[in-house]
C-alpha cells in the first residue's frame, strides 16, 4: 500500500480539490483506493457527497484499526472508499502530541488498511501541527499544491527545508503548481524556477478554471460532472507524475 498525503500548511491552495480528483483517477485505474479526510472542515467528505451516520470523533478515528468497516464509507464510485471527517476530529491533533505514540497509532491504522487498499490518499488540514509532524514521518509521499505567488512559495520553502533538514523524515516531497495562469509572467517565472535545475516541482500544473471550482456545486470529481473537460488532463498529468515518483526507489 502506498500512502500519499496532500499537504500544505496554507489553506485554499487546492489540496482538497486535487486529493479528491486524484483519488478518483487512482480508483478509476482499478487501484483499491481509500481517501482519508483528515480536515475537520470535511471538504473532501462534502465534495464526494458523503453523509456518514457514524459519529466520527478523534478518539474513534485513532482506533480506526478496530472498526474500519464501520467508519469507512463507499463513495459510490468503483474502488473508491472514504474515511470521512467530522468537526469532532479537530481534537485529533492534541491526541498526537506524543510524536512517537502518534506515529505508532497512525502506522497501526495504515497496517490495518494495507490488505484492503493499494493507495491511501490523505487530505490534510492546513497547518503545521502534531498531526503533520506525524504524517511527515509515516507517509510515503507528500504532494504539495503551491499557488505560484511569493507567499505561497515561501510557505513551501519553509516546510520543505524543515523536512529536508530533519534526519527522521524520509518522505518524498512532490510540489506542483495549482491555480496556474500561463498568461502571468510571475507564474511562468515560478514554473521555470520550480522545474529548472535544483527545482523539484512536477511538470504538470493545474490551471485556474471555473469548471474546477464548480466541484462544490456538483459534489463529485471533475471527470464525473464534466467528462470532456480538457482540464481532466491536468489532474491526470499530476497523478501520472506522482505515481512514477511514489514508485521510484531512491535506494
Ligand atoms: N484549479 C482551480 N481553479 C479554480 N478554483 C480552484 C482550483 N482549485 C481549487 N479551487 C477553489 O479554491 C478554493 C480552495 O480549494 P481547496 O481545494 O478547498 O483548497 P485547500 O484544500 O488547500 O484549502 C475552493 O473554492 C476551490 O473550489
Ligand atoms: Mg482542504
CATH number at residue 213: 3.40.50.300
Contact 5, 142 (CB under 8 A): yes
Domain count, the chain: 1
The C-alpha cell 489532474 sits at 235
Relative orientation angle of helices 232-247 and 15-28, to the nearest 10 degrees: 80
Ligand nearest to the CA of 39: 2
Ligand 1 center from residue 159 Cα (angstroms): 20
* Phi/psi of residue 157, nearest 5 degrees: -60, -40
Ligand nearest to the CA of 37: 2
Say what the pLDDT of residue 210 is: 97
Residue 205 in contact with ligand 1 by CB distance below 6 A: no
Atom of ligand 1 nearest to the CA of 179: 1
Alpha helical stretches, state H, the chain: 15-28, 43-47, 58-62, 68-71, 92-95, 99-114, 130-138, 150-165, 185-195, 210-213, 215-218, 222-225, 232-247
Say what the pLDDT of residue 83 is: 93
Say what the pLDDT of residue 250 is: 63
Encode the chain (251 residues) as per-residue pLDDT tens digits. Answer: 999 999 999 999 999 999 999 999 999 999 999 999 999 999 999 999 998 777 778 777 777 777 777 889 999 999 999 999 988 888 888 888 888 888 998 999 999 999 999 999 999 999 899 999 999 999 999 999 999 999 999 999 999 999 988 876 789 999 999 999 999 999 999 999 999 998 999 999 999 999 999 999 999 999 999 999 999 999 999 999 999 998 876 65
User: Domain range spanning residue 207?
Assistant: 2-247
Alpha carbons 117 and 120: distance in angstroms, whole number: 7
Alpha carbons 232 and 25: distance in angstroms, whole number: 9
Indicate whether this model's pTM tops 0.85: yes
Residue 52, number of CB atoms within 10 A of its CB: 17
Contact 159, 171 (CB under 8 A): no
Helix and strand numbers (H, E) in the chain are: 13, 7
Atom of ligand 1 nearest to the CA of 10: 22
Residue 15 in contact with ligand 1 by CB distance below 6 A: yes
Say what the pLDDT of residue 64 is: 72
For 11, 29, 212, 234, the CA distances from 224, given in Å and listed in that order, are: 25, 14, 12, 15
Amino acid at each position: 500500500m502506498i500512502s500519499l498525503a496532500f499537504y500544505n500548511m496554507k489553506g485554499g491552495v487546492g489540496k482538497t480539490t486535487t486529493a479528491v480528483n486524484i483519488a478518483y483517477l487512482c480508483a478509476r485505474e482499478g487501484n483499491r483506493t481509500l481517501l482519508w479526510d483528515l480536515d475537520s472542515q470535511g471538504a473532501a467528505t462534502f465534495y464526494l457527497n458523503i453523509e456518514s451516520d457514524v459519529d466520527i470523533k478523534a478518539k474513534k478515528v485513532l482506533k480506526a484499526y478496530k472498526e474500519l468497516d464501520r467508519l469507512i464509507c463507499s463513495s459510490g464510485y468503483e474502488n473508491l472508499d472514504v474515511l470521512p471527517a467530522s468537526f469532532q476530529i479537530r481534537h485529533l491533533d492534541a491526541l498526537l502530541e506524543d510524536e512517537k505514540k502518534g506515529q505508532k497509532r497512525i502506522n497501526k491504522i495504515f497496517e490495518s488498511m494495507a490488505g484492503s487498499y493499494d493507495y491511501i490518499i490523505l487530505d490534510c488540514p492546513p497547518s503545521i501541527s502534531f498531526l503533520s509532524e506525524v504524517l511527515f514521518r509515516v507517509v510515503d509521499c507528500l504532494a504539495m499544491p503551491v499557488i505560484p505567488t511569493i507567499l505561497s512559495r515561501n510557505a513551501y520553502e519553509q516546510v520543505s527545508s524543515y523536512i529536508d533538514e530533519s534526519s527522521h523524515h524520509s518522505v518524498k516531497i512532490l510540489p506542483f503548481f495549482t491555480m496556474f495562469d500561463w498568461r502571468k509572467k510571475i507564474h511562468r517565472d515560478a514554473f521555470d524556477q520550480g522545474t529548472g535545475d535544483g527545482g523539484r516541482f512536477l511538470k504538470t500544473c493545474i490551471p485556474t478554471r471555473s469548471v474546477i471550482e464548480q466541484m462544490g456545486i456538483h459534489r463529485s470529481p471533475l471527470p464525473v460532472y464534466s467528462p470532456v473537460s480538457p482540464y481532466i488532463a491536468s489532474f491526470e498529468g499530476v497523478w501520472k507524475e506522482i505515481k512514477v515518483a511514489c514508485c521510484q526507489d531512491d535506494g
